[in-house]
Amino acid sequence: MLFYRPNYLMMTAGPTTVSGNVLHARSKVFGNPDLDSDFLSYYRFVCHRLSNFLGTEKSKIIIMNGEGMLGLDSACASLTEKDDRVLVISNGFFGEGFKELIEVYGGDVTVFESSWKKSVDLEALTTFLEKDSNFKYATLVHCDTPSGLLNNIGPICKLLKSKGILTVVDTVAALGGVDFRMDEWGVDIALSASQKVFSAAPGLTLVAVSDAAWKAMENRATPIQSFYCNLLLWKNIEEKKVFPYTMPASDIISFGTAVDNLLSETLYRVFDRHEEMRDLCIERLKSFGCSLYLESDFSPTVTAFLPPKGITAAELINHLRENYNILLSGSYGPLSDTVVRIGHMGENAREDRIRFTLDCLEKTIFELKNR
């Protein structure tokens, strides 16, 4: 194949459709990101703009060169020492996945399991922590994308902080489209990425680090067991006037444009349209005879559903792709063969795209039922 030119409407649970001006920004001329102090200033400016979404004035925000998993790996690498006790709060695929990342660095993981179909059970977690709260940090996921679940992380993080536990939150699939209050909720490390709500190309990880998390890294008895995932290398980039490695200048310039696009709408309008698109998806999906995977706590950024009886997830996804040029996502882990997902993140949380997708989905279901 000489050209790679996808021609479908990408309504997946990330990556999300990228706007013309964001695509165009990647083709702009750039200087030497290692030697040009103007680039560092621009980088700081983009990080500062992100603080609007993160709800933080106190934390340090950094943008790293790698897609979302780099942020998760970096948080685990930078905090975990051998035999450190870590609490993994799991009610979904990504929630569960933290265990593996922490164990790579020798952490002693305890998993707190909660139903995959609704937000973490705060009462059960409270009871659990009364018996055992001796953990260095806890991990949790804001929007667990494979099921479209939105955890109510404010009260959970406040509870964990009250027990002296540091909090690491994966908000890769929610930040930008859902209110996030890092300082108010006591989040110590927040993790996100460029290709979900921000609607830029995949390739950047966003990390915000609180003073308490920096302290925990600095007070380690043993060195961080990674170079690429060592967050401490980023702590003083302004003073040192140098990045740990050459920054992907085109990616950052393009991402800065994507952040501008979202901020130009005002935050609350952005949050509102995400909720409106979630509600529209839920209402229409039910009317076609699809059932929703979750019981409650539907994320404003992605909706997971099961096709009507007699139609498999794969049939539905393939029919929509082949006949209507729309790409939806399947899912992962235990949901992989049954669940279909519509992403309504960032640029995709727009009524024209969502209505068009739902109309074509309705036709698809009709056609598959009448095969």
Ligand X SMILES: *Cc1c(COP(=O)(O)O)cnc(C)c1O
Q: Is 173 in the site for ligand X (CB under 6 A)?
A: yes
Q: Is 333 in the site for ligand X (CB under 6 A)?
A: no
Figure out which of the listed residues 80, 139, 145, 364 binds ligand X, where binding follows CB under 6 A. Answer: 145
Q: What x/- string results for residues 88 through 127 when contact with ligand X is judged by CB under 6 A?
A: ------x---------------------------------
Identify residues 11-40 at the interface with ligand X (CB under 6 A): 14
Residue 346 or 364 with smaller CB distance to ligand X: 346
CB 240 within 8 A of CB 247: no
- Using alpha carbons, select from 305, 365, 295 the residue that is nearest to residue 340: 305
Query: 160: number of CA atoms within 13 Å, CB side?
Result: 26
Figure out which of the listed residues 73, 84, 96, 170 binds ligand X, where binding follows CB under 6 A. Answer: 170
Q: Is 10 in the site for ligand X (CB under 6 A)?
A: no
**Which H, E and C letters describe 116-182, residue by residue?**
CCCCCCHHHHHHHHHHCCCCCEEEEECEECCCCEECCHHHHHHHHHHCCCEEEEECCCCECCECCCH
Q: Is 251 in the site for ligand X (CB under 6 A)?
A: no
Figure out which of the listed residues 23, 69, 122, 267 binds ligand X, where binding follows CB under 6 A. Answer: 69
Q: How far apart are CA 362 and CA 179, in angstroms?
A: 31
What is the SS3 assignment for 272? Answer: helix
Cβ-closest position to ligand X: 68
Q: How far apart are CA 315 and CA 90, in angstroms?
A: 30
Residue 17 or 312 with smaller CB distance to ligand X: 17
Shortest spacing between CB 20 and ligand X, in angstroms: 23
Q: What x/- string results for residues 178 through 197 when contact with ligand X is judged by CB under 6 A?
A: ---------------x--x-
26 to 258, 295, 346, 358: CA distances (angstroms): 11, 41, 19, 31
Q: Which residues bind ligand X (CB under 6 A)?
A: 14, 67-69, 94, 141, 144-145, 170, 172-173, 193, 196
